[in-house]
């Protein structure tokens, strides 16, 4: 999604195109402490926006809690330090959802 990612929420149009760049995601089993509890994990829920908390809640309801670590590499969607505007947020969301679904 390269244009309209926010206004589409209000019924406006968005521009979506295929590009030859990819975001890479690697999922691995979450590190655990001696009791078997997952360590690390999600940021403090108090620091997340309400939209992220709601998305997390829906994902956990659909998939159950997924104890995994994700590493995202979005360097192909940048030129130096500059984002190219190729929908890296959408790509990261889709890649994380796919990895969690396989977990």
Residue 39 sits at φ, ψ, to 5 deg, of -115, 160
Domain boundaries along the sequence of the chain: 7-102
The whole-number pLDDT of residue 71 equals 80
Segment 21-70, tens digit of pLDDT: 888 888 777 776 677 666 665 656 677 778 777 877 887 788 777 677 77
Residue 62, judged by CB atoms within 10 A of its CB (0-12, 13-18, 19+), counts as exposed
The alpha helices in 12-87, defined as continuous H runs, are 50-63
Q: Tell me the whole-structure pTM to 2 decimals.
A: 0.53
The whole-number pLDDT of residue 39 equals 62
């Amino acid at each position: 999604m390269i244009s309209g990612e926010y206004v589409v929420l209000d019924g406006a149009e968005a521009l979506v195109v295929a590009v030859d760049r990819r975001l890479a995601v690697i999922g691995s089993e979450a590190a655990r402490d001696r009791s078997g509890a997952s360590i690390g994990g999600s940021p403090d829920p108090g620091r997340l926006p309400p939209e992220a908390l709601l998305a997390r809640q829906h994902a956990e309801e659909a998939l159950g809690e997924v104890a995994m670590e994700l590493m995202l590499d979005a360097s192909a969607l940048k030129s130096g330090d500059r984002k190219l505007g190729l929908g890296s947020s959408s790509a990261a969301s889709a890649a994380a959802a796919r990895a969690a679904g396989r977990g």
